[in-house]
Chains A and B, each alone.
Chain A
Amino acid sequence: MFLAFVSFFGVLVCTFVLSQIVPGDPAVVAAGRVPDPVVVARIRSEMGLDRPLHEQLGIYLSRVLFRLDLGRSVVTKRPVIEDLQRYFPATIELVTVSLFFITVIGVWVGVVSATKRNGPVDHAIRAITLSGISMPEFWLAIILQLLFARSLHLLPVDGRVAIDVLIGSPLKGGTNLYLLDSLFQGNWSFLYSSILHLVLPVFTLTYSLVAYVVRLARAAMLEVLGQDYIRTATAIGVGRRKVIYKHALRNALIPILTIIGMVYGFLLGGTVLVELIFSWPGIGRYAANAIFTMDAPAIMGVTILGSMIIISLNLMVDVLCALVNPTVRYT
């Protein structure tokens, strides 16, 4: 808990240092299109930009931590925190669905790989998953679009939901998580369209990241399968399936759990490119657009949000590990 806080604090210091290096004066930006020197000076003292650096750091930390103020986007002119709230649900949906598939497919394929160790199936799995890791997400996304959307017309090219569905049967408010909202409101055409739009981006993210889980699941399973109790279980006549999925997998799950935080970090990075190409209205595309306009506050905001998620996720994983395995103790 304490360490998580230290990490988060460090992340903030990091983004502070980076925002200090950014060329351009935030006071001038805030003053509007034609900056009046008097106004600039006033804003500068209001924002504390005329104070020494360590005081500015204090101001920055209290601003971010207590007022959730991440500054104002240079482009949208809105507070970054509002922009993040607006775009975040779309990213949560995309990333969570992807993480679900990465974990489920990854663990399953990893187990198969471990039980068929060094056989042709294992080699094939290794080649396929490694090819996923090596594929630039943006390139894979472009190819999938070309193939399934533009040539075969099986799936939509981009966006979150078809425009005629959005107009014909819109959602009534809700959390902006389209899958959940449309499910609860019984809006089936909306749900169907959302799912169709999710297929390509989710596939892109899953394929390019599943290797990390497969590799770890395989190694963890191999380690567990070599233990005495597995041999004992086999010896007393427990069926092979039951040994693998009940006795072994359960014990192999903990190391697999621990890399979820890491995979989530990769997902958040990868989603910048994927959202850009699939016009997915999430924080990834927000970040990508911020990059093209060199909108520093927006980029720092996305970075802080991403780290916050990963730190809390790692914390949750630690707690979960302690729950699953009572022998894990934190001192």
Chain B
Amino acid sequence: MKPVRDIEETIRRKLHVTAGPALHDRVLARIQNADVRPKETAVAPDGEVNGGTDPAVLGELVARHRQSMGARHAIRRTLPLPFMTKAAAAAAVVVIAALLARHSLRREPAPTPPRRATVSAAELLTVRRLNTVHRRAGMQGLERQCEEAAERVDIGHTKMSIEDLIAEFNGS
């Protein structure tokens, strides 16, 4: 935001600027509309018009500028302070809550049903697995494990024609 002091300084340094009525009107319009503008556009940089100065005009410009700034402050002040505080607080609460929720979601994912430990058929048929099951459950255990592995790897049960295979290969 353009500070008022900067504008006054600029104007004072350019005190000997000469300005005609047209420039006056333009500068006045700009200053009245001045809001948040870069410094160089807030006033006419080289306000030399008609080869003379116009301190009265400038004084009026400054006065209007002040008045305008005062109006802006007034507008800002028309919003009640508690409302701003509440809005900011509410926004902060919302942001914090959102952050906390996100953080907690990341740290503690929603509980999912426990997955059964999956062991591949190849793993079931390793010497160590078969030895272990024999030590624990004897021949019956060994039979069960062989049967379970056979169920999983069984390919004789799935029938696929050559046409199906060609379709698979072609990706259609």
Indicate whether A and B interact: no
Write the residues of chain B forming the contact surface with A, with a CB cutoff of 8 angstroms.
none
Write the residues of chain A forming the contact surface with B, with a CB cutoff of 8 angstroms.
none
